[in-house]
Structure 1
Amino acid sequence: MVSHLRKCRTAVAAALTTALLVPIPATAAAAGDLQGADLCTAGRDLTLAARMSKDIRAALWSRAGTVSVSVHDSRTGLVCELASRRRYDAASVAKVLVMEAALRRAQEWRRGLTGWEHHRIRPMITISDNHAAQRLWNDLGYRYLSRFLRRVGTTATTLGTYGRWGLTGTTAADQSRLLDVLTGVRGVLGPGARAYGLRQMAEVRRDQRWGVPAGMPRGVRAHLKNGWLPRATHGWRVHSVGIFTGGGRTYRIVVLSHDNPSMAYGVRTIERIAQAVHRGLHKGRAIGQELTPESEISEVPDGSAPAEGEDQDPAA
């Protein structure tokens, strides 16, 4: 009997692995979302908007998977939106929300971060520590996090139930609003708190700095957070969100995706889009960050949610 059960479990695990690795037909990237009106506007700079729309479409041409994009540039007024209201599991990009909520709470309570908070925020962002994220999530609580989302003005982000913060539902549009908490557009955090948050995101460790920094020119600084999580439905979720500062401008790039056959495939899709955006905003400037070599992309999930069927105490 024990031997039979072991064989059954092995068969189920093999079937799940196979399902995650089978290529998934193109949905958003190469289908209806790329048709119709231009993806970008840029005030009176019609040339920039048209070129950027064309380049983002070209970056996604023939790519499988479901992709959403949100780009905003302060200098030109460039705005690019592709399926930016489609919902995704947030995976580890939910950690930006957790950090910002902790900073806002400290501000409301008229104090700085405690040592306990700092020693969990920093690893949560810089090395994507899940235990730290869970402790902060539990400490902030569902009610406070919900109130923070309302204050920021998100319209479609819903917190993961039963403490499953990695399964928070979100959109590219809402992730862009959350990044604007750190750029000062939303007026939610003071200058010191914003600088602290940006510093944590600028110091994400090297092996997690793939995604939206690809194609970034020298002299520009990336403040980012990524998420990478496979599930039985929609395959790999691979997300990258970032704020870029320097050269007299601030801009942000959000790319969310799922239905990726592998993490490496999702990373490459995101980086092709990022290259197009950086190139369009910095014509003629030397590239400071190239595409991430596929050999350096791990296929190990970020651990932001338990595998289906696994028991996990969210209060742990």
Structure 2
Amino acid sequence: MQRLKGELIECASRKPRLARALTRDIARSLAGRASWASLVLYDRTTRTSCTYRADEHYDSASIVKPIVLGALLHVRDGDLSEEEQDLARRMIENSDNESTYVLWDIVGPENIRCFLDDAGMTNTRIDEYGYMGLTQVTARDQATLLEMLTGEDDAVLDAEERAYILGLMHDVQADQRWGAPAGAPADASVQVKNGWLQRSDANLEDPWDRGDWKVNSMSALTGRAYDYGLVVLTENNRVPGDGHPDAGWAYGMDTIEGVAKSIHRNLYPGR
């Protein structure tokens, strides 16, 4: 383990050298970043895991969308109408917010809460005013979702329902496939969902505070011998003084991709 910004990076593996290398390189990739970050890695194949600030809460932005779809399938027993399937496709593949809110209203917060509880995502908090992107998520809970989707337990969603969600995440449009998959093995099957929004709790009249970008990414890597997932959540991705308004978003993406590349490189070197 290694301490970064007062918190521990903890990695464990059946390969002790791998755990040490991951701890070291995660710390190096985040050490010079202004972003606050949290992450969870699990790899069933190498029996490796890493956590850093895993239970800190972040605005979800669009990584809440697989939760909405999971809750819809849960309440419908997997039987979606053609309209619901079209809305689900646009929600996941294109990250369309209007489609998400239609499905959010169809499912309702009580059923979303029921799905979260059944999935073991008990630290996820639904926004009391119904803003889906302000759902408070943790890296640990989002990794729990990925583990459920890629696992074999039918207790929450059956195999067909899990494959349906993963299939849409596999087909996310090309310009939204950044983040946690960066540097992943070329022969892995990549399922991804990213989220980003600009919101600041600080006084926006402060000339320094140009807004705080929240940038998040979650990915499941499967196929061949791969069976692992990575969640990286970030905030405090600030827009520099006179910089482009999207600079904070790009900074957050770079933070995520830096740590992701170090993780993939250590887990599966040369792939």
Cα deviation, residue 72, structure 1: 0.2
Q: Is residue 2:251 matched to residue 1:277?
A: no
Cα deviation, residue 260, structure 1: 0.6
Match of 2:29 in 1: 59
Q: TM-score, normalised by structure 1?
A: 0.76
The residue identity in structure 1 corresponding to 2:252 is: G
Contact 2:188/2:226, CA 8 A, preserved across alignment: no
CA distance in 2, matches of 1:48, 1:118: 42
CA distance in 1, matches of 2:264, 2:148: 22
CA distance in 2, matches of 1:268, 1:92: 18
The residue identity in structure 2 corresponding to 1:275 is: K
Contact 1:89/1:237, CA 8 A, preserved across alignment: yes
Report Cα offsets for 1:218-270 as digits up to 9, x if no partner: 11111011011011227110000010112312100000010111000000000
Match of 1:40 in 2: 11
CA distance in 2, matches of 1:146, 1:94: 12
Contact 2:94/2:172, CA 8 A, preserved across alignment: yes
**Deviant stretches of 4+, over 3 Å:** none
Match of 1:171 in 2: 138
CA distance in 2, matches of 1:250, 1:217: 12
Q: Is residue 2:188 matched to residue 1:220?
A: yes
Alignment partner of 1:251: what SS?
strand
Match of 1:101 in 2: 71
Aligned partner (choices 121, 130, 150) of residue 154 of structure 1: 121
The aligned length equals 250
Q: CA 1:185–1:49 in structure 2 vs 1: closer, same or farther (change >3 Å)?
A: farther
CA distance in 2, matches of 1:174, 1:185: 18
Report Cα offsets for 1:177-203 as digits up to 9, x if no partner: 111221125532111111111110011
Contact 1:124/1:130, CA 8 A, preserved across alignment: yes
Q: Is residue 2:111 matched to residue 1:144?
A: yes
The residue identity in structure 2 corresponding to 1:79 is: S
Alignment partner of 2:109: what SS?
helix
Match of 1:19 in 2: none
Cα deviation, residue 71, structure 1: 0.2
CA distance in 2, matches of 1:159, 1:181: 20
Alignment partner of 2:129: what SS?
helix
Match of 2:158 in 1: 190
The residue identity in structure 1 corresponding to 2:134 is: L
Q: CA 1:164–1:186 in structure 2 vs 1: closer, same or farther (change >3 Å)?
A: farther
CA distance in 1, matches of 2:76, 2:226: 29
The residue identity in structure 2 corresponding to 1:138 is: D
Alignment partner of 1:163: what SS?
coil
Cα deviation, residue 153, structure 1: 0.8
Aligned-residue RMSD, C-alpha: 1.5
Contact 1:92/1:166, CA 8 A, preserved across alignment: yes
| Long gaps (5+) in structure 2 | 203-211, 239-247
When structure 1 is superposed on structure 2, of 173-182 and 89-98 the one drifting more is: 173-182
- What pairs with 1:106-121 in structure 2 (closer than 5 Å)? 106-107=76-77, 112-121=79-88
| Greater share of residues in strand | 2
Q: Which structure would you say has the larger Rg? A: 1
Contact 1:138/1:163, CA 8 A, preserved across alignment: no
